[in-house]
């Protein structure tokens, strides 16, 4: 595993501080990233293009189970982190236990928080935090990065039907 890319929370905070002091735009996104697929890859590539550093918050196994149910994740947090770290456009990966990484965002203080999907920014708890931090939230619509065919949940359903 590329352990240089896997950070503790404390390391992620310091790397983000150093990047901002160097004038770099720090981009943050998060997710479960279980059964990484082309939709995830397109999404992460687009997120990285918004700045000079992409930090990916990865839900731990415990938080994935809380969000998705007892049969998930398919792959362990260590395996998911290794796959994410192997992507050239992912600079760093940091794990978190919460369902929504509000505290992690407050600690890292990214310039841009990127979300995939059809979110209403004003309904997101991260939106106010990002405004208070002087940053912003950017939405990458699913229509840009994936279709129903690229959903992890749909992939699992298709596999179970065969």
Q: What is the pLDDT of residues 43-94, one digit of tens each?
A: 999 999 999 999 999 999 999 999 999 989 999 999 999 999 999 999 999 9
The residue among 132, 107, 100, 122 whose CA lies nearest residue 30 is 100
Match 């839900």 to its residue by tokens: 59
Least confident residue range of 55-64, 104-113, 137-146: 137-146
Q: Residues 36, 84: contact at Cβ < 8 Å?
A: yes
CA–CA separation, 114 vs 153, rounded Å?
21
Determine, yes or no, domain membership for 91: yes
Expressed as residue numbers, the domain containing 149 is: 6-160
Q: How many domains does the chain have?
A: 1
Does position 137 have pLDDT exceeding 60, yes or no? yes
**What CATH number corresponds to the domain at position 115?**
3.40.50.620
Residue 107: its H or E element:
helix 102-108
The answer to whether the predicted template modeling score (pTM) of the entire model surpasses 0.85 is yes
Determine, yes or no, domain membership for 45: yes
């Amino acid at each position: 595993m590329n352990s240089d890319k896997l950070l503790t929370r404390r390391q992620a905070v310091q790397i983000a501080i150093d990047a901002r002091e160097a004038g770099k735009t720090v981009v943050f996104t998060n997710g479960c990233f279980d059964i990484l697929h082309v939709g995830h890859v397109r999404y992460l590539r687009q997120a990285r293009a918004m700045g000079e550093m992409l930090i990916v918050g990865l839900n731990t196994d415990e938080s994935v189970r809380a969000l998705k149910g007892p049969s998930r994740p398919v792959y362990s947090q260590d395996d998911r982190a290794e796959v994410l770290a192997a992507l050239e456009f992912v600079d760093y990966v940091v794990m978190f236990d919460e369902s929504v990484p509000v505290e992690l965002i407050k600690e890292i203080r990214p310039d841009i928080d990127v979300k995939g999907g059809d979110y209403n920014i004003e309904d997101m708890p991260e939106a106010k935090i990002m405004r208070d931090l002087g940053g912003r939230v950017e939405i990458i619509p699913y229509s840009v990065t994936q279709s129903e065919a690229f959903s992890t949940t749909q992939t699992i359903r298709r596999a179970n039907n065969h």
